[in-house]
């Protein structure tokens, strides 16, 4: 979840975001661009120092808290942002934007730790490093779940966070929670294909292959709520691989033809991916379809 995601807009728990401070907007833009806020200029450094001095003597400046937290985030210092926003929350306990930004800082810190540990494991695959990676992965999933639960509680119409939460449950191998969390999304047309796809992946992880294929077919062949092309292609790939593993020859032939057709409609890189899957399949020696490879 990033600063560009939907902000709360309705009640006290989801009040409008002000966003009127230029320095804060610039810090957020730097963060979104993946650039350190003080890269090539001292403006942010000087602004940060001024804000730090100001808040040390006047810890009631809401915009100052939010701007300084955004600068910390843009400098890849989410832990400092988290601590600052915890202080701000003590001063402004009912402010929705402070709460939202605190949640974002918590997520950013968890993700930062996961990336740092992943980089270490890429160099040193010791038991200790692997254990820390597992812990960081678990923390990243749990932080997403907690933040999404809190936001949905404040505003049940924030369906996008149900989907993010379901993905986190899947990462945490909490399969029953994936199915429970995605159930309401099946009633929302714009999320139906994505929810079905996630449920299919979940059932595959559970070892329930046939139930997974039923979920995935609703994405691949659904007409009432058509899936985006990229999602449909990914779904057919999963169906193809599952049918091949289960040796369902009739289904495999059908998915093979559909996979090639979808790949041909989706650009060169996708065609190559689809052809590689087909080349390695058990049907790779069959005659070309419709006179083509």
Give the pLDDT of residue 43.
Answer: 78
| Average pLDDT of the residues in 208-215 | 96
Global pTM reads: 0.76
Domain that holds residue 1: 1-157
Give the pLDDT of residue 85.
Answer: 98
Q: Is residue 174 part of a domain?
A: no
Q: Is residue 125 part of a domain?
A: yes
Give the pLDDT of residue 41.
Answer: 53
Phi, psi of 258 (to 5 degrees): -65, -40
Q: Is residue 2 part of a domain?
A: yes
Q: Is residue 283 part of a domain?
A: no
Give the pLDDT of residue 222.
Answer: 85
pLDDT tens digits along 15-68: 322 333 344 454 445 444 444 444 545 777 889 999 999 999 989 999 999 999
Give the pLDDT of residue 284.
Answer: 39
Give percent of the chain with pLDDT exceeding 90.
66
CATH number at residue 70: 1.25.40
pLDDT tens digits along 165-200: 999 999 999 999 999 999 999 999 999 999 999 999
Q: Is residue 147 part of a domain?
A: yes
Summary mean pLDDT of the chain? 81
Tokens of 116: 């740092």
Total domains present in the chain: 1
Q: Is the pLDDT of residue 219 over 80?
A: yes
pLDDT tens digits along 125-160: 999 999 999 999 999 999 999 999 999 999 999 999
Q: Is residue 170 part of a domain?
A: no
């Amino acid at each position: 979840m990033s600063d560009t995601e939907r902000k709360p807009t309705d009640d006290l728990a989801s009040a409008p975001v002000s966003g009127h401070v230029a320095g804060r907007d610039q810090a957020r833009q730097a963060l979104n661009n993946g650039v350190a806020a003080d890269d090539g200029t001292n403006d942010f450094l000087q602004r940060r120092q001024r804000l730090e001095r100001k808040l040390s003597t006047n810890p009631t400046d809401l915009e100052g808290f939010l701007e300084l937290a955004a600068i910390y985030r843009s400098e890849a210092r989410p832990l400092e942002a988290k601590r600052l926003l915890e202080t701000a929350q003590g001063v402004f306990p009912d402010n929705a934007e402070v709460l939202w930004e605190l949640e974002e800082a918590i997520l950013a810190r968890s993700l930062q730790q996961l990336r740092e540990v992943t980089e270490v494991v890429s160099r040193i695959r010791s038991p200790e490093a692997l254990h820390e990676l597992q812990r960081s992965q678990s923390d990243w999933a749990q932080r997403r779940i907690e933040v999404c639960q809190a936001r949905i509680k404040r505003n049940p119409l924030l369906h996008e966070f149900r989907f993010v939460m379901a993905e986190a449950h899947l990462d945490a191998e909490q399969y029953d929670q994936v199915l429970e969390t995605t159930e309401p999304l099946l009633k929302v047309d714009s999320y139906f294909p994505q929810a079905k796809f996630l449920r299919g992946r979940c059932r595959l992880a559970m070892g329930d292959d046939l139930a997974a294929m039923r979920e995935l077919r609703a994405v691949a062949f659904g007409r009432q709520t058509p899936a985006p092309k990229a999602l449909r292609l990914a779904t057919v790939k999963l169906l193809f691989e599952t049918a091949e593993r289960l040796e369902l020859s009739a289904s495999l032939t059908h998915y093979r033809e559909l996979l090639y057709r979808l790949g041909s409609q989706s650009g060169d890189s996708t065609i190559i991916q689809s052809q590689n899957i087909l080349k390695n399949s058990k049907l790779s020696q069959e005659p070309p379809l419709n006179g083509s490879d």
